[in-house]
Amino acid sequence: MYGVGSAAWSKDLQCYWLSWEAHNDHRLRLNLPRGQCCSMAGAIKVAKAMAQIITSIDTYVGGKPDTLYLLVWGPRPKWRAFDAESAEAQQRRAAWAEDELRINGGMIGASTDP
């Protein structure tokens, strides 16, 4: 099921990919075949083209969690990469969920204009 034979090549991702899955909390999951890894910049570019607001991208390789790309907020928000199973990634994911509820009632990027 996770072999390269059923996957498509992406110039942006610089790898073969199987599918993207959208989650309600501004997250996307990118499923890759075994042995593949994607370009972080490419994953962010493709994700932004698919959804207006993206805060994290989880990559799965061969059906297993691989990398978490997370938009870390601050004076200058930036994307960071974490091993998906690391304690740091889990802590950042939990902290981000709390922040998202606090900022704009869970609507990051929502307009306050009437």
pLDDT tens-digit series, residues 62-98: 999 999 999 988 899 999 999 988 988 788 767 767 7
Is the residue at 114 inside a domain? Answer: no
Per-residue confidence (pLDDT) for residue 4, from 0 to 100: 61
Give the separation between CA 26 and CA 108, rounded to whole angstroms: 9
Of 110 and 63, more confident: 63
Count of domains in the chain?
Answer: 1
CA angle 11, 54, 90 (to 5 degrees): 100
State the average pLDDT for the chain. 83
Is the residue at 72 inside a domain? Answer: yes
State the pTM of this model. Answer: 0.74
Is the residue at 38 inside a domain? Answer: yes
Give the separation between CA 57 and CA 40, rounded to whole angstroms: 9
Domain that holds residue 23: 4-106
Is the residue at 9 inside a domain? Answer: yes
Is the residue at 111 inside a domain? Answer: no
Per-residue confidence (pLDDT) for residue 31, from 0 to 100: 96
